[in-house]
């Protein structure tokens, strides 16, 4: 028989514990859409053209090719368009600063809302490597599609759709049709 009185089991308590921060609620999507529309309008008024992201990547790729082989880049119509339009260096292209601003803004927004964490969001039926493989494959397909469509979803859907470009509207209809066609397959990975 023990002579020690019944007590709660000892629990190691850290000396200082950082307060747990609860993430802020997400913005109303309709309000976010109005805000995005105002940003698009401001881009047309200030820069004279709409938004887009794939042009920034292409500016960097064209510049890198010109560094590796300037003769090849100057002889290729595709690269010449970006090298001359961007004055030869990607940091002279406003789309590069737009994309850098999106990355910085997303990071700052996540920090202010308490959503920054190192994690891979995935369903229970897929491994981290599988999830990253799907993300890389999907990103590569979107990149190829953006070049074939002459613009990414921000350039085609937002900017092209805003000026009622028929090709942009057809592009977005196909994006949604493809998403609905694959939604069932992808949804199983998240359950």
From first to last of the 191 residues of the chain, give the pLDDT tens digit. 444 444 444 445 555 565 666 878 888 999 999 999 999 999 889 888 888 888 788 888 888 888 898 888 888 888 887 777 655 677 777 888 888 999 999 999 989 988 888 888 888 888 999 989 989 998 898 888 888 877 787 788 888 888 888 988 988 898 899 889 988 887 877 77
Inside any domain, residue 58? yes
Total domains in the chain come to 2
- Please report the pLDDT score of residue 8 as a whole number: 45
Virtual CA dihedral for 171, 175, 181, 182, nearest 10 degrees?
A: 150
* Domain boundary, last residue among 116, 142, 175: 116
Inside any domain, residue 23? no
Domain span including residue 153 = 124-191
Neighbours of 156 (CB within 10 A): 25
* Domain boundary, last residue among 77, 99, 116: 116
- Please report the pLDDT score of residue 20 as a whole number: 65
Neighbours of 158 (CB within 10 A): 21
**Same domain, residue pair 176 and 133:** yes
**Same domain, residue pair 129 and 111:** no
Task: Give the list of residues 6+ apart from residue 36 with CB closer than 8 angstroms, or none.
Answer: 158
* Domain boundary, last residue among 116, 136, 151: 116
**Same domain, residue pair 61 and 89:** yes
Name the pTM for this structure: 0.68
**Same domain, residue pair 108 and 164:** no
**Same domain, residue pair 81 and 129:** no
**Same domain, residue pair 86 and 129:** no
Inside any domain, residue 143? yes
**Same domain, residue pair 131 and 190:** yes
């Amino acid at each position: 028989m023990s002579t020690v009185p019944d007590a709660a089991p000892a629990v190691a308590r850290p000396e200082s514990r950082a307060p747990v921060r609860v993430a802020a609620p997400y913005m109303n999507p309709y309000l976010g859409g109005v805000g995005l529309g105002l940003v698009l309008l401001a881009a047309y008024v200030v820069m004279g053209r709409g938004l887009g992201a794939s042009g920034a990547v292409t500016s960097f790729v064209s510049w890198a090719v010109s560094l590796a082989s300037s003769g090849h880049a100057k002889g290729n119509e595709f690269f010449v368009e970006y090298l001359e339009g961007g004055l030869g260096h990607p940091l002279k292209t406003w789309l590069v600063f737009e994309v850098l601003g999106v990355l910085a803004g997303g990071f700052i927004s996540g920090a202010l809302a308490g959503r920054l964490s190192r994690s891979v969001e995935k369903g229970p039926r897929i491994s981290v490597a599988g999830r990253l493989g799907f993300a890389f494959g999907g990103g590569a397909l979107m990149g190829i599609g953006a070049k074939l469509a002459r613009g990414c979803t921000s350039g085609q859907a937002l900017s092209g759709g805003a000026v009622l470009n028929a090709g942009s509207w057809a592009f977005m209809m196909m994006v949604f049709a493809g998403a609905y066609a694959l939604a069932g397959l992808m949804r199983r990975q998240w359950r």
